[in-house]
Structure 1
Amino acid sequence: MKPTFRTLRLLPLLSLFAPCAFAEGQWTPEKAQEWAKSQPWLVGSNFTPSTAINQLEMWQAETFDPETIDRELGYAASCGMNSARVFLHNLLWEQDSEGLLKRMDQFLAIAAKHKIGIMFVLFDDVWDPNPKLGKQRDPKPHVHNSGWVQSPGKEVLKDDAKRAALEPYVKGVLTHFKDDKRVVVWDLYNEPGNPNRSAYGPVELEDKPKYSLDLVKKCFEWAWEVRPSQPLTIGVWTNDWSTKEKRDALNAYQLDNSDVTTFHVYGDLAKTKSFTEPLFEYGRPVICTEYLARTAGSRLQDILPYFKEKKVGAYQWGLVAGKTQTQYPWESWKQTFTEEPKIWFHELFHKDGKPFDPAETELYKKLNSAS
């Protein structure tokens, strides 16, 4: 793997990566709850501008699009959203770490103008396992997330040395923004161990959960050495966490080491409750970092009021329908679509700011005005 900086540039930063005692590890539940008291009810979306097919296209210098970001975060603010979950990529750091940090700062300034705090995601095990820098491919017509890429991707994930070499990326990003109040949470790793069977299976990477668990552990260890002022988390997303005894190794480690408890649920209200309520037992703030899949029963009208009542943070998938094409369902990988579905799967707005369903944006306004 190519070094991130020239040797001379590394010298002032060597202390970041040298072995040291942890300043502080995981927050106590009490400290996490104190943090939660300082925050509004966190509500928003997973955000990618409509002009980007994936994380690389969003952040690379040639395709970074502050004008669209500004306009579309304005749509979010118009209905009272106060936060957004946003994905990064390790290849961006390796390509141009200084440029990435500069663009992240520019993005945070735009978000702050709209009073939107940011949850950054550092790694992601979902969709294309072979990410590549440079010009990204065009969307495959009518297919959900046809160009989203994993971070770090299977060639890095399966290699012990390459996983270890991700340390400068994690520490570099966290150190730069460790006290930045525009960043509200660090989500270190999205859906570790996801096998991608529906799109890139049947076997993308043998023993993927084993490699992912190792990177999950490294993420927390590296982050604890930096110990940002914002909470750290990795959300559970699959298998059974209804009791501590039923948890698998990944879920147990994620839940036992996160400052705030995060999770995904794509189902109706009954399923949402069954996924949410066991998490209250950890005594930490609870945030749902992915939901909303209308034709799978996950509807804003049912679920958002429940999250508000229970003080569960809520980040729906998607904001503006664009190159990710996530208004199409997951089934579009197997089932042929020739036109946009009448009922969108994800997303809230058209590119021009028109809501898919005005009742949904009115619900956001109603609930957020009562925050």
Structure 2
Amino acid sequence: MSPNPENPRVKATAAVLREIDAPLSIEEIELTDLQDDEVLVEIKGAGICHTDATAIDGTVPLPLPTVLGHEGAGVVSAVGADVTNVAPGDHVVLSFGHCRECDICTGGRPAYCELFAPLNYFGTRLDGTTTLQKGEEEIHGNWFQQSSFASHAIAKAANTVKVPDDVPIQLLGPLGCGIQTGAGTVLKVLRAREGDGIAIFGLGGVGLSALMAAKAVGCDPIVAVDTVASRLELATELGATHVFDPTATKDLVWDIMQVSAPGLNLSFDTVGTETVVRQCLEVLRSPGHAATVGFQGLENNIQIDQGHLMLGRTLSGVIEGDADPQEFIPEMVRMHQEGRFPFDRLIETFPFERINDAFAASHEGRVIKPVVVFD
């Protein structure tokens, strides 16, 4: 699509991935012209998510060079001719791409959209064009239909969610993926209710978001499991009634079962290893429901005992909390405003130019949810 000389293309500062497992490079790029169903957003903050890291290390294959980032939040700068849900000046959170037209989307489960892969992972629009370029070089973008590791991003109307202006926009990006995954799984998949016992394995941003959601609806007991003492301490502050370090016990499942015999109603895995998935099933009472969101690569064989699924036990794999962002992101914002969902306690901000430091802090476990921000 050729530039319009009367409407010059928007320039952006972006973090570009040019080689697998290499640091991101800060570069000046351009955004291509908006299509009719697209939204131009001035990014104010973008969360660092494990999925971005799996793209950098090659676990998720993608074309290079590319711009990642899929937890963006900012202010609408312009909209395409067909966009009606947001307008310039609106504060918005960007979430995952979905068509909103297939049977799955219209059935209220857009995280399993029939076009999820091409809309989120292929680096181009469905028509093969890119949203980014540098001179004559095409820069792959459209990562989760946003590529928000940039000062400006092009999103679709479908994954652009309006939020109130009085909530700190720099911090809201993680609501579009990681925090949505944790909270959505507890509220929309496990359907936690007051008095349900729940165990949460892994206390990163997703696990602690799940914990806060469980606390918000009155789960009791809330068992939190991690190997990092500071995360266990924070989990207690956020509502965990019992915490366990699996390296400090001879039999983790036995210890958890003593909390609420004959077991817990619900469990949640953010790790994805065979050991943890098995433990999630083993701590359940009957009937009980375990959910797993931990990602260990496209091929990750695990073995479980059929007996752990008998008598009404369920194991569910979940993407994006099985939530509709247009409904669930505003719900999380309301919970935060009511003081029941303090997700900001998980966040530490970094200037955008220190994005590689933010990834390192996340990888090393020094920060639960890094967010890179623009002034």
TM-score bracket, normalised by the shorter chain, equals under 0.3
The structure with the largest strand share of the pair is: 2
Say which structure, 1 or 2, has more relative contact order (CA 8 Å, 6+ apart). 1
In the superposition, the TM-score normalised over structure 2's length comes to 0.27
Higher helix share: 1
